[in-house]
Copies of this chain bind each other. A is one copy, B any other.
Amino acid sequence: MNIDMIDAAAARLKGHIRRTPLLNSPFLDEIAGRRVLVKAECLQVTGSFKGRGGWSAVSALDPDTCAHGVIAFSSGNHAQGVAFAARSFGAPAVIIMPSDAPRAKIDGTRALGAEVVLYDRANEDRDAIGARLADERGLTLIKPFDEPQVIAGQGTCGLEIAEQAAEMGVERGDMLVCCGGGGFTSGIALALEARAPGLRVRPVEPEHYDDVARSLASGRIETNRRAPGGLCDAIVTPRPGDLTFPIMSRLCGPGLVVTEDEAQRAMALAFRYLRVVAEPGGAVALAAALFHPGEVEGEAVIVTISGGNVDAGLFAQTLTRFSA
């Protein structure tokens, strides 16, 4: 993995993936006690940064392999990223999703033309289901994070952040990234190492699913004790990846952890002051900047809103409960 792969992915993504804005609000600055710049990947095609990795991985396949089709496991955002890219390349896509994934994500993935196969998280083995389908149909597996071209695709977000932060006069500070398996975090870290070395990448996770923070602290891969689930489904994974962990270990500062309530409060503030829709997992980095200022360093902090695919009912409840 290196910056050249990220630049190459950026060239493939051009014209297909959006350059999302780096937003800010004086009201958020006041809450955080420092400048807060928000990379709004909820405005990305498919509603999350996963559009980048999906496009990068599918566009890197040789045409014959691509024509046979692709398969992915996902609670929803990677699903839509892969489905979107596959449709654009005319490739069949099969997505294995947990049956309790958010409705908006299941519907969105189907509407993008993918075949969605639902499985029961508690009683079925998704890997076995996936292996059988891949074998029967000659599909290529697009892993959600532990895959070089996916990391390179997510890293294109880091290239944009480096440019946009410099335009806004920010060249030093913490860069907080919503973190699941580490594809987004490690991709951004590689991009910033080359293009904005004054920004220090730090993963942010929801409590009970802080495998990356604990792994960075101990220096070896730690796993979550809880089964995947919770409000922040988009960024909950059992453990960091074999490819992503060494990158994060080399480049990232300590991880931060927020509660689900803090993530929802951040969603309500992003609604009010940025007028964007964040999903719970997509709001954890903003929550860390706003509600854990003592754990952040520097005069400015940059955060990702990694996605905005949230069911209307949950969003309405969040506003009702957490708006001042």
Query: Which residue numbers of A lie inside 8 Å of B, CB to CB?
Result: 18, 20-21, 23, 26-27, 40, 42-43, 47, 104, 111-112, 268, 271-272, 274-277, 308-309, 312-313, 315-317, 319-320, 323
Q: Which residues of chain B have C-beta atoms less than 8 A from A320's C-beta? A: 312-313, 316
Determine if B18 and A21 form an interchain contact, defined as CB atoms under 8 angstroms apart: yes
Determine if B319 and A315 form an interchain contact, defined as CB atoms under 8 angstroms apart: yes
Determine if B316 and A104 form an interchain contact, defined as CB atoms under 8 angstroms apart: no
CB of A278, distance to nearest CB on chain B (Å) = 8
Chain multiplicity (copies): 2
Determine if A274 and B43 form an interchain contact, defined as CB atoms under 8 angstroms apart: yes
Known: A276-B277, A277-B277, A316-B316. 12 other contacts (CB 8 A): A21-B43, A26-B111, A43-B43, A43-B275, A271-B277, A271-B312, A275-B277, A275-B308, A276-B276, A312-B319, A316-B319, A316-B320
CB of A44, distance to nearest CB on chain B (Å) = 9
Q: List 11 A-B contacts (CB under 8 A).
A: A18-B21, A18-B23, A21-B21, A43-B43, A43-B274, A43-B275, A43-B276, A268-B312, A271-B312, A275-B308, A313-B323
Determine if A272 and B316 form an interchain contact, defined as CB atoms under 8 angstroms apart: no
Q: Which of B26, B43, B268, B277 touches A23 (beta carbons < 8 Å)? A: B43
Determine if B43 and A312 form an interchain contact, defined as CB atoms under 8 angstroms apart: no
Q: Which of B47, B275, B313 touches A42 (beta carbons < 8 Å)? A: B275
CB of A111, distance to nearest CB on chain B (Å) = 6
CA distance A109 to B233 in the complex (A): 36
CA distance A271 to B270 in the complex (A): 13
Given A43-B275, A271-B277, A276-B275, A312:B323 Cβ within 8 A: yes
CB of A190, distance to nearest CB on chain B (Å) = 25
CA distance A285 to B20 in the complex (A): 23
Given A18-B21, A21-B20, A27-B111, A47:B315 Cβ within 8 A: no
Determine if B104 and A272 form an interchain contact, defined as CB atoms under 8 angstroms apart: yes
In the complex, which residue of chain B has the Cβ closest to the Cβ of A108?
B27
Q: Which residues of chain B have C-beta atoms less than 8 A from A268's C-beta? A: 312
Q: Which 3 A-B pairs have the closest CB atoms?
A: A275-B308, A312-B323, A316-B316
Given A21-B21, A27-B111, A111-B27, A275:B47 Cβ within 8 A: yes
CA distance A137 to B111 in the complex (A): 59
In the complex, which residue of chain B has the Cβ closest to the Cβ of A273?
B47
CB of A305, distance to nearest CB on chain B (Å) = 9
CB of A57, distance to nearest CB on chain B (Å) = 20
Q: Which residues of chain B have C-beta atoms less than 8 A from A313's C-beta? A: 319-320, 323
CA distance A316 to B267 in the complex (A): 13
CB of A68, distance to nearest CB on chain B (Å) = 24
CB of A100, distance to nearest CB on chain B (Å) = 19
